Structure 1
Amino acid sequence: MGNSLKNLFRKVKVYLHITKASGIARRYFIMNGFDGAMTIFGIVLGSWMASVTKPEVILLAGFGACLAMGVSGFFGAFMAVKAERERHLKDMEEATKNRVDPIHYEAARFVVVYVALIDGLSPALTATISLAPFISASMKVISISSAYFISVPLSLAVLFLLGKYLGKVAKENGWLYGMVMVVVGALTALIIFLIQLFLGA
């Protein structure tokens, strides 16, 4: 079992090296993770200001939005990466007169699914973290008020961690990147609050 996993990870590493897809996967993870976190943050804040008292409503809206983002992200990335890999392979075939090493075809097939899964699942991952308090509220473990109070800072923490990771990737100040993400979240909260005032909700 241990050797099988080692061989699998080694093969994945080789595939990513051949296709140079690590950067693409990271980019999709950060972008769509950010989309998922911000979407749920907006849903939670909007629900709070609208005095939504049923956690099931928030969960349905949140997971529904994430499902839509996930499906869209998966198939969008799948088709885009597939097209890019096929074009790359055809260029290689022309350059080598159809003497392309079979591992390039294996790597291309793997990377298409790998990147698509990251694209599709990253919004659900970040969203689930922010929605976790409402899952607890729906099970009567905590109150809906507590769920709101926990979810908002949790969402900001997710944004901060995404920013910190982005800073690490860029080899820059991760704390600065994290704080920028938090500021974006705070501005979103302010805009939602202003909309509420404008609508008189």
Structure 2
Amino acid sequence: MWFHPVFLLRITHSQDILRRYFVVNGFDGALTMLGLLIGFMVSPPTQLSVVIGVCLGAAIALGMSGISSAYVSESAERKRALKQLEGAMIADLSDSAHGRAARWVPLFTALVNGAAPVLMSLLILFPLWLADAGLPLPLPPLTSAAGIALLLVFLLGVYLGHIAGVSWLRSGIQTLLLAVATAGLIFWFVGGGDG
């Protein structure tokens, strides 16, 4: 018997977990790309194709790390919860909706956890692809990509503010300030040797 994914998420109360994973790993992806971009900005000039390759490599690594770590941890948690429920009900629930959820929810979680940083990274890299294809941009490609990274971090903060029921603007500004502080640290430590 098949159970709809939304139903499996609902009976395990996993919607909040998926949302947290998406925001946390999306934030990681955006900050990682921002860090790489700023590192390239303060380093000697590098071919755009090299920058894209390095950033894509990091995005894929973040995605695979997100998938594997979330799957292993969530699978263990779901198995433990199923065993506790089976113990309370004194029944084998492997063929029930809860048993199916214990098998499928870790996969859903892993996919969301892995997709978040990859999605953020691809959005951030978009100006680099445009510039590499010879299309003109209003700002230098690295600056444009860094601007998108900052915008995405701000939007993640806005989303968190909406979820928490607090000021979306304040929440967005708080996450943006974290990204700016990260950028400042990178400029300080990586670019400081030139000054």
Equivalent position amino acid for 2:35 in 1: G
- The number of aligned residues is 193
Instruction: Tell whether 2:64 aligns with 1:71.
Output: yes
Name the aligned partner's letter for residue 86 of structure 1.
K
Check if 1:160 corresponds to 2:173.
no
1:3 maps to what in 2?
Answer: none
Query: Could you list the runs of 5+ residues in structure 1 that have no partner in the other structure?
Result: 1-7
Cα displacement (A) at 1:110: 2.0
Contact 2:42 2:191 in 1 (8 A): no
State whether structure 2 residue 87 is matched by structure 1 residue 94. Answer: yes
Query: Kindly tell me: are residues 145 and 57 of structure 1, through their superposed partners in 2, closer, same or farther at Cα, counting changes over 3 Å?
Result: farther
2:136 matches 1:139:
no
Q: 1:157 to 1:144 in 2, by over 3 A?
A: closer
- Give the match for residue 105 of structure 1: 99
The CA deviation at 1:192 is 1.9
Instruction: Give aligned-pair identity as a percent.
Output: 32
CA deviation map 1:91-123 (0-9, x unaligned): 111111115371111222221110000111100
- The amino acid across from 1:147 in the alignment is P
Task: Go from structure 1 to structure 2 and tell me whether the alpha carbon gap of 1:196 and 1:85 turns closer, same or farther (over 3 Å shift).
Answer: closer
The ranges of structure 1 where at least 4 consecutive aligned residues each deviate by more than 6 angstroms after the TM superposition are none
User: What per-residue deviation string (whole Å, max 9, x for no partner) do you get for residues 45-90 of structure 1?
Assistant: 1111214341111111111111111111101100100001111111
TM-score by length of 1: 0.89
SS at match of 1:87: helix
Q: Distance in 1 between matches of 2:190 and 2:55?
A: 20
Measure the CA separation in 2 of the matches of 1:72 and 1:83: 17
Between 111-120 and 52-61, the greater mean CA deviation after superposition: 52-61
Contact 2:156 2:172 in 1 (8 A): yes
For the residues of structure 2 that align with 1:172 and 1:85, how far apart are their CA atoms? 32
8 A Cα contact 1:137 1:144, kept in partner: no
Question: CA–CA distance in 1 between the matches of 2:4 and 2:40?
Answer: 46
Q: Where does 1:1-201 land on structure 2 (aligned, <5 Å)? A: 11-98=4-91, 100=93, 102-142=96-136, 146-200=140-194
Distance 1:144 1:41, change over 3 A: farther
Is the deviation greater in 94-103 or in 152-161?
94-103
Q: Is the 8 A contact 1:53 1:144 kept in 2?
A: no
Cα separation, partners in 2 of 1:197 and 1:65, compared to 1, 3 Å: closer
The alignment yields a C-alpha RMSD, in angstroms, of: 2.0
Structure 2 unaligned spans of 5+: none
- The 8 Å contact of residues 41 and 155 in structure 1, kept in 2 or not, is answered as yes
| 2:38 and 2:186 in contact (8 A); partners too | yes
Higher helix share: 1
